[in-house]
């Protein structure tokens, strides 16, 4: 046995602050008879160890293989050093270094231990809505600066009582150095407020809130990352009233339940979905509804799925706790007016939500950074992101190349931004649609916070090429005021590279990019969206695309589906026959103006958008005319489609264009024959899948490339994914889909950042112009 004494310094980087890592190190050192110390710094966790080499080897093995539940090691350095002849192992005070940075842990759902204590009448934290420990609770939403210590969080306003201090200082306690630790005696409290007047506090406030919900009232509830609007999901009148007040006529509402049993009353839940619902991330999961559907249809009009999450904070658990005659499911939707960011400050909520909610359930733990709930769906038994936010952001994505300090500002819709440094890409939480000043403010606040806590001073800024995006205008203005290089990245190229990074695929290798979405500014000034690219991080070629169609009214046309349908028919040279649903929807004057607009090319930008093609087919089938949220017509078309239909509509590829004339003729023929819309919708999905296969095969013949990337908002369509993937794989393609970031514009900032990083590094960067 080797008993020679050694001394080493261990530097650990990763998710190692705010996750019980120092207490874990303390216990591990004690177990292995090692002396020394551990401390947080702004850049890593630093450990000094002295002892025998055998004990040190065992320590390092356990360090890398038996981490605390929330911890993650990204890099580990072991440096021989001089002994300090320590007599014990200590946790030292944190050391701040303005030049260093550290990944921040996301907020985490309540753990099983805290949940058990929450409902134990003998526990001193019984029914305390802010119970937490080193394995769960708030992190990102309360952190103001690093290192992650209580004084640098919004918990600084709550000095610990004697009992909490004892737990905090006890190395064997689950709350050892848990920064948000609190109890009813010293921590945050809740109160119930009506018309600006508090009427109940603490437990009475929660019971009053439950009583109001039971009576069909709408409440604004302050949660972890902002306010929710809550009501009884089984009460159709309450749900309808919430829709009217929120000005959200059709977009589905999210639902919350106490446990899995409650969810399974209304939805089918497979083993993977159960795992995600019960995970520490606790996202909203899109689940197949049971038939017949027992919840009001207006929760998710014309949808086959419901978005459910489990109560993920102690406060939510207390609001959803089962009781005879109490709602088993609550609507728990974002606390905002339609299109505005979620409210997260008390004064802001009073102003913005007073007309929406009958009363408020407040608490006095300040939220420093607003965060929306994450949304995922199942794809081949793996999570597939619709929205990456709470529980995941701001966890850094590891990129296997050294990245300069960069800011990428993302797109207009579903905005996120991205900051890079070292081997990390910090993709932000969900900001939302950048269509108003309030969302733009949230965007600016988020960027300032990320730059501060990650100690990143951007050397360049990347943005979309669209000149009218608010994010692009911000980038241009900031690049000028700070004299920073501005790198404008083509929208669909950014999608392609985002998916490469998501799969940790070699950036230098060429791939076939099937990039399908609603809108993206093209290199030729047109609106792209049905793109077949050949490219990598360095650049791309546009080899095929849907044939251009005029979009009457530009972006405004997306709100009137019938206009898009008639524009497609006009472009294909097909008549607007009087009995077509899209023709009947518009009055004669509207049709006359539309035809004039198309013939004279008045405000009719050209588009190759696949998203608009889905809209046009939905309009032809009479699914809807007016759209109230982005992608609505396409989503309803997907939900209508017969998944078992095998028929395929024809199309043709002419040089670099996909011509849709034969497809439209076949759809019209079926419609005239009285073929049911679900079958037509199914055949259309099959046609798009076969079109993608043929386009990929064509590009493979030209290039020899066998890897296909699927990115863009259209790829949220699970039916299209289900139809397309087997066709490509059976034709010997390797297919890359998104895994850690959304396929929609919520992932585009990642691609922008990596393309910009390459351009800064290599002067030979090429982007098709």
pLDDT at 98 over 80: no
* Nearest-angstrom CA–CA distance, 207 and 123: 19
Contact assessment for residue 681 and residue 640, using Cβ atoms and an 8 Å cutoff: yes
What mean pLDDT comes out for the span 670-697?
A: 98
Asked whether 65 and 419 are in contact (CB, 8 A), the reply is no
Element (H, E) at 242: helix 236-246
**Contacts with 717 (C-beta within 8 Å, 6 or more apart), sequence order:** 614, 634, 635, 638, 685
pLDDT the model gives residue 257: 98
Cis, bond preceding 292 (omega within 30 deg of 0): yes
Pairwise CA distance, residues 765 & 14, whole Å: 31
CB 534 within 8 A of CB 703: yes
Report which of 519, 416, 543 is spatially closest to residue 465, judged by C-alpha positions.
519
Give residue-wise pLDDT tens across range 353-363: 999 999 999 99
Q: Is the pLDDT of residue 423 over 50?
A: yes
For the stretch 149-199, pLDDT in tens is 899 999 999 999 999 999 999 878 999 889 999 999 999 999 999 999 999
Residue 587 burial (C-beta neighbours within 10 Å; 0-12, 13-18, 19+)? exposed
What whole-number distance in Å separates Cα of residue 492 and Cα of residue 529? 8
Are 428 and 453 contacting, i.e. CB atoms less than 8 angstroms apart?
Answer: no
Residue 241 has pLDDT above 90, yes or no: yes
Model confidence pLDDT, tens digit, residues 539-567: 999 999 999 999 998 877 889 999 999 99
Task: Provide mean pLDDT across the span 484-499.
Answer: 98
**Residue among 420, 528, 547 at smallest CA distance from 466:** 528
- The DSSP output letter for 468 is T
Three state DSSP letters for 158-223: CCCCHHHHHHHHCCCCCCCCCCCCCCCCCCCCEEEEECCEEEEEHHHHHHHHHHHHHCCCCEEEEC
* More confident of the two residues 227 and 767: 227
**Whether the Cβ atoms of residue 12 and residue 47 lie closer than 8 Å to each other:** yes
What pLDDT score was predicted for residue 767?
45
Q: Which whole number is the average pLDDT over 375-396?
A: 95
- Look over the chain and give the mean of its residue pLDDT values, rounded to a whole number: 94
């Amino acid at each position: 046995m080797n008993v020679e004494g050694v001394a080493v310094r261990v530097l650990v980087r990763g998710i190692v602050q705010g996750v019980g890592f120092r207490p874990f190190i303390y216990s591990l050192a004690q177990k292995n008879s090692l002396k020394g110390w551990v401390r947080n710094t702004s850049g890593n966790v630093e450990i000094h160890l002295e002892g025998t080499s055998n004990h040190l080897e065992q320590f390092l093995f356990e360090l890398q293989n038996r981490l605390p539940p929330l911890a993650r090691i990204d890099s580990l350095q072991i440096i021989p050093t001089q002994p300090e002849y320590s007599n014990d192992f200590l946790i030292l005070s944190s050391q701040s270094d303005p030049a260093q940075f550290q990944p921040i842990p996301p907020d985490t759902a309540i753990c099983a231990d805290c949940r058990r204590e929450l409902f134990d009448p003998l526990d001193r934290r019984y029914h305390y809505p802010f119970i937490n420990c080193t394995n769960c609770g708030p992190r990102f939403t309360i952190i103001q600066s690093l290192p992650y210590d209580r004084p640098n969080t919004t918990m600084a306003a709550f000095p610990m009582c004697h009992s909490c201090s004892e737990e905090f200082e006890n190395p064997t306690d689950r709350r050892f150095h848990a920064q948000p630790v609190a109890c009813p005696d010293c921590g945050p409290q809740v109160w119930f407020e009506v018309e600006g007047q508090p009427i109940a506090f603490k437990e009475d406030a929660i019971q009053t809130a439950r009583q109001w919900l039971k009576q069909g009232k709408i409440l604004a509830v302050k949660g972890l990352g902002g306010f929710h609007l809550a009501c009884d999901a089984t009460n159709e009148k309450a749900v309808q009233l919430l829709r009217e007040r929120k000005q959200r006529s059709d977009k589905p509402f999210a639902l919350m339940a106490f446990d899995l049993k409650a969810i399974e009353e209304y939805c089918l839940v497979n083993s993977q979905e159960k795992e995600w619902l019960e995970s520490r991330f606790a996202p909203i999961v899109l689940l197949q509804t049971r038939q017949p559907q027992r919840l009001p249809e207006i929760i998710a009009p014309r949808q086959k799925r419901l978005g459910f999450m489990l109560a993920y904070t102690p406060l939510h658990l207390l609001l959803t706790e089962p009781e005879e005659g109490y709602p088993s499911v609550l609507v728990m939707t974002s606390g905002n007016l339609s299109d505005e960011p979620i409210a997260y400050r008390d004064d802001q909520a009073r102003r913005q939500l007073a007309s929406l909610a009958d009363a408020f359930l407040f608490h006095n733990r300040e939220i420093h950074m607003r965060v929306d709930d994450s949304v995922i769906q199942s794809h081949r038994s793996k999570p597939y992101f619709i929205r990456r936010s709470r529980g995941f952001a701001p966890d850094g994505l590891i990129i296997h190349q050294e990245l300069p300090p960069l800011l990428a500002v993302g797109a207009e819709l579903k905005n996120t931004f991205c900051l890079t440094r070292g081997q990390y890409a910090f993709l932000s939480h969900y900001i939302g649609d950048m269509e108003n000043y309030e969302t733009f403010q949230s965007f600016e606040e988020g960027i300032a916070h990320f730059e501060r806590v990650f100690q990143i001073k951007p050397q360049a800024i990347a943005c979309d090429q669209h000149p009218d995006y608010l994010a692009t205008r911000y980038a241009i203005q900031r690049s000028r005021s700070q004299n920073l290089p501005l790198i404008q990245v083509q929208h669909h190229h950014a999608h392609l590279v985002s998916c490469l990074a998501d799969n940790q695929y070699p950036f230098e290798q060429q791939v076939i990019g099937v990039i399908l979405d609603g809108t993206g500014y093209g290199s030729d000034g047109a609106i792209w969206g049905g793109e077949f690219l050949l490219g990598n991080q360095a650049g791309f070629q546009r080899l095929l695309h849907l044939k251009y169609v005029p979009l009457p009214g530009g972006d405004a046309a997306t709100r009137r589906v019938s206009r898009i349908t008639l524009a497609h028919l006009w472009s294909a040279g097909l008549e607007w026959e009087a009995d077509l649903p899209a023709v009947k929807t518009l009055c004669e004057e509207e049709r006359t103006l539309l035809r004039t607009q198309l013939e004279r090319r008045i405000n009719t930008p050209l588009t190759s958008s696949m998203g608009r093609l889905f809209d046009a087919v939905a309009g032809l089938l009479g699914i809807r005319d007016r759209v109230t949220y982005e992608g609505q017509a396409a989503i309803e078309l997907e939900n209508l489609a017969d998944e078992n239909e095998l028929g395929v509509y024809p199309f043709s590829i002419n040089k670099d264009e996909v011509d849709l004339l034969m497809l439209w003729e076949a759809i019209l023929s079926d419609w005239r024959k009285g073929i049911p819309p679900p079958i037509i919708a199914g055949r259309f999905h099959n046609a798009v899948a076969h079109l993608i296969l043929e386009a990929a095969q064509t590009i493979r013949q030209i290039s020899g490339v066998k890897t296909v990337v699927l990115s863009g908002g259209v790829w949220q369509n699970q039916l299209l994914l289900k139809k397309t993937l087997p066709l490509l794989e059976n034709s010997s393609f390797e297919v890359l889909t998104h895994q850690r970031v959304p396929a929609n514009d919520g992932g585009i900032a990642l691609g922008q950042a990596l393309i910009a990083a390459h351009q800064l590094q290599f002067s030979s960067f090429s982007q098709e112009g």
